[in-house]
Structure 1
């Protein structure tokens, strides 16, 4: 449907004077009358960003997001009306007004992981995507104990080539991160790559395993060859318990061969083959990982990644709320009440609170802010997802702690009175 000359002229005028709120609202009104609701919402949102208290803009927004009225005489063969698209309406309201929190100082942000690098940075002809690490540990909110252990046991030797040469330390290493799901192990691996100034390759089990005999081993070989060509490179192996499961518990010959190939690649064809390749692996079930993978020279260091501490929770909540229309949010109070929540749990909490405010806005026909009551109401129905993991890990830490591998976990369980 072609636009009227008046709408086209007003579009040109708004582009020339984007801060003219009355002009923008006039255009939004015409767009709404013409049935162009999405365009109208975009202009009303832009007006509210400039004048959050503008009553005319608020009324237009409420009209735009309200469900359409039923037709007085529907056609008999017309299809049944679909349900209201709550997610789309939530996205439309997310940029209406800037965020407003109880505290003036901003909580530490936890930004999204960096996007994959452009094709120029990737290895030509490679099946594996190579990224340029830009995230640093400073971008990770809280989790100070994890950062200190990473710095002392892994990063410091890598950053000091003179001392490394003096003490004969090879520029290779392996670290196994374990802990409950949704606690940021992948993000920490990206931060390690950024700290080392290295490239980053993230690989999951679906990227390696193949139904054809020999294909999985070939995929592993190509993976490590790509990492070596792009060194220094952090190679992150997610779900290592599935890729490197205990061979004594694996019945399929092809899977045992895959584990053997992984061991071969970790050792390198010769002593210096993996120079500059730092292998990081993550698992929720370290007790299912083949013990040979944790021998010296392979994944010989373990790091427990626990649910985010209070500063980290505050930062994660701020990150997931900062681009939504919020008012009067007490981040410190929420962080105290979400002890034991994973990062994924906190994201779900913010989504649930936004849904409550969205449903109320559609029901009343008036857009409103996400308030503290929405978050507290959602919190009453959400429980941390880490509980089942700690139940399983407690038994392993108590009765199968061979060589003290889970001493750090035992300390945490005692501190939290889970033993």
Structure 2
């Protein structure tokens, strides 16, 4: 979720520098991500007023107009974008939502989408995930390549089944990765949180789970993503009877006991995989795990560059910042850049003149901003060392060993 404070800071900066098209475009993108489509459209139009051939602004204006309920404006922006990019008239703009099934197109009065659930068509792919080369390689091997090569699966007598569990410290991009997987597969994306399922009335939580799986099946191909699965699928020995029934319903839906899950790809994320009910980890369910760690040096550099792209800055030593932010999550880095930007804005507001973000702003911000992942690693270390009998956390244990080896090497050089 995009921070409101970041948006407010950028709005203040855009008022001070109204001719900065890159700043307006960045603000429009963040507003769109935050679900504020009408405001995003206004910012995109501000860019198009001075740069009518700016492709990024045209695409963003089209998407924002669609979300804001103005299909005619969206169509105009799509046509302009197509004309500038040479797209054949009638072809879908790039990137485009999934093609609508023929039957739905032929129906003059299609049923409105279920307003309760946030069914999306992601416009991001794994190419938009900064760094994290090993995570993307594992995703491609475990999920994406098999889905793109079904004939190869048949040749080897293999079948793609079960779900994928993403785990790691908070703020490292697990939800964004799941969304990017949906974009990579050109599938719909349905994110489900704890509050979407649990209900105070007897039996309603189970019905909610059944409903969300049914919606995903109707909109296949669909990536069904459960965030904080440890809260929804906690060990039943630790839960009351009514809550344990929810886990039982989830197991039934994952097994496809009442309906086929063909075309439904189930991903889940958790910060505490050791709290997930063991039954959810059996074959055919969440039987594969993927560790999502804080961004490495290359990813931190890419994230810093991305965050700074539309902000005025000068004289920054990004290499030094990358070294000083080891262990920072993606959310930590975003907060760091926002904090440094706010320091520059504070001075700009006081003086009435826009000034760029400088290295000194980051030096000050780093005195306050610390990596939020330390507590998670302390808990995870105990699990990896003393509760890894079945090898579930071998990848995590390997990470700790590598870190220990690096620390030993560093101490040796210090001598």
TM-score by length of 1: 0.71
- 1:280-318 per-position Cα deviation (integer Å, ceiling 9, x unaligned): 000000000000000000000000000011121112112
Match of 2:373 in 1: 386
Matches within 5 A, 1:28-67: none
* Between structures 1 and 2, the one with greater helix share: 2
Match of 2:248 in 1: 260
Match of 1:236 in 2: 225
- 1:170-215 per-position Cα deviation (integer Å, ceiling 9, x unaligned): 3543000000000000000011111112111011101111011100
Q: Against the structure 1 CA distance between its residues 412 and 97, is the aligned structure 2 distance closer, same or farther, given a 3 Å change threshold? A: farther
361-370 vs 294-303, which deviates more? 361-370
- SS of 1:200's equivalent in the other structure is strand
- SS of 1:146's equivalent in the other structure is helix
- Which of residues 144, 150, 166 is equivalent to 1:161? 150
Measured after TM superposition, the shift of residue 165 of structure 1 is 2.4
The answer as to whether partners of 1:175 and 1:281 remain within 8 angstroms in 2 is: yes
Match of 2:326 in 1: 339
Match of 1:351 in 2: 338
Q: Against the structure 1 CA distance between its residues 298 and 371, is the aligned structure 2 distance closer, same or farther, given a 3 Å change threshold? A: same
- 1:217-246 per-position Cα deviation (integer Å, ceiling 9, x unaligned): 000000000111111110000000000000
Q: Against the structure 1 CA distance between its residues 366 and 135, is the aligned structure 2 distance closer, same or farther, given a 3 Å change threshold? A: closer
Measured after TM superposition, the shift of residue 253 of structure 1 is 1.5
Match of 2:137 in 1: 148
Higher relative contact order (CA 8 A, sep 6+): 1
Q: Which runs of 5+ in 2 are unaligned?
A: 21-28, 38-108, 405-415
- SS of 1:416's equivalent in the other structure is helix
Match of 1:40 in 2: none
- Which of residues 285, 288, 302 is equivalent to 1:298? 285
Give the whole-Å Cα distance in 2 for the aligned partners of 1:352 and 1:121.
47
Match of 1:33 in 2: none
Q: Against the structure 1 CA distance between its residues 360 and 278, is the aligned structure 2 distance closer, same or farther, given a 3 Å change threshold? A: same
Give the whole-Å Cα distance in 2 for the aligned partners of 1:346 and 1:388.
17
Structure of greater Rg: 1
Aligned length: 321
- 1:232-275 per-position Cα deviation (integer Å, ceiling 9, x unaligned): 1100000000000000111x2210000100000000125x7111
- SS of 1:339's equivalent in the other structure is coil
Measured after TM superposition, the shift of residue 121 of structure 1 is 11
1:183 is the counterpart of 2:183: no
- SS of 2:225's equivalent in the other structure is strand
The answer as to whether partners of 1:199 and 1:232 remain within 8 angstroms in 2 is: yes
1:310 is the counterpart of 2:297: yes
Give the whole-Å Cα distance in 1 for the aligned partners of 2:251 and 2:322.
42
Measured after TM superposition, the shift of residue 112 of structure 1 is 8.4
Give the whole-Å Cα distance in 2 for the aligned partners of 1:254 and 1:160.
42
Match of 2:276 in 1: 289
Give the whole-Å Cα distance in 1 for the aligned partners of 2:15 and 2:330.
23
